[in-house]
Amino acid sequence: MSKERIFEVSVIPNSRKREIRKEGDMYVAKVKSPAERGRANLELLKLLSEKFKVPLSDIMILKGRASRKKIVKIKFDEAGVIEL
């Protein structure tokens, strides 16, 4: 049985370093890729996959593909624990 978490992420493209941190109720993600042709979105998905140890296929941008503020959904199984 799988569960899901939905949360907001603010993305900062063209950053010098790649990181994600929690600020209040949302996350702030710095990615090195530019915000063009979906590159920053793809890097964000990879960063979330690494942080939460879930497959890339279990992460989806629900809203904000062309915006810096995004609503993201992560699916995980019962054994997986996601600290948000």
Cα–Cα distance, 82 to 84 (Å, whole number): 6
Sheet containing 69-77: give its strands across. 19-23, 26-30, 2-12, 69-77, 59-63
**pLDDT single digits (tens) 18-27:** 999 999 999 9
Q: pLDDT tens, 48-73?
A: 999 989 999 999 999 999 999 999 99
Tell me how crowded residue 31 is: count the other CB atoms within 10 A of its CB: 24
**Strand (E) or helix (H) holding 49:** helix 39-52
Please tell me the pTM assigned to this model.
0.88
The span from the CA of 59 to the CA of 3, in Å, is: 12
All structural domains of the chain, each given as residue ranges with its CATH number in brackets, are 2-77 (3.30.1200.10)
